[in-house]
Amino acid sequence: MLPALLILGGALLRPVYAADEAPPARDMPVISVCDVFRDLLSYTGKHVALRGELGRTSEGNWLVAEPSCPYRFKTDGFVWSQDLALGGNAALPKRVRALGPMGRTMPTTIITVVGIIKTREKYTVVCRFGELTSVGFGHLSGSPAELISEAAFDPVAIEREPGKAPAKQPCPPSPTNPRNHN
């Protein structure tokens, strides 16, 4: 169903949508991935337009919060990465060429992605080989949520310093054997 246009005194004001229709992607307010991590679970099932860094590997795609983001999602003593695994069918831009000197800077894409946030009802963290491991979304279940993407727009290629690898999180000592973390 196409949205009806509200015309008042000959002036076009704004589109009006039926209750069961979502506004077009570009009409939605855009929030940062970092803002979602302020209270991640409150966004479960919400239709959102998120702006963040497009993370890519051969194993998948993610929408990542800016490195200065102060908000973290934690469960059972485990600190999750600040990214959302990307699912769905939004057309993502091709990788950008290298912009800066090899090894000093790297190209990245900042983009807005529209979709629905999916989270777990219960988060599981297990001790495996002496490290805490998560059961989330995306490659190796490392993301605390997934954005089921519908559209992507406004990509901007920027140059930035390479990020640091996330710190490993050791298992707490077992009450029955303090030296055994497995």
- Write the pLDDT tens digit of every residue in 13-34: 434 444 445 556 678 899 999 9
Domain ranges of the chain: 16-123+139-160
State the pTM of this model.
Answer: 0.76
* CATH code assigned to 16-123+139-160: 2.40.50
Question: CB–CB of 30/112 below 8 Å?
Answer: yes
pLDDT tens for each residue of 98-134: 555 555 556 788 999 999 999 999 998 888 888 888 8
Inter-residue contact 118 to 148 (CB < 8 Å): yes
Query: Which is more confident, 129 or 35?
Result: 35
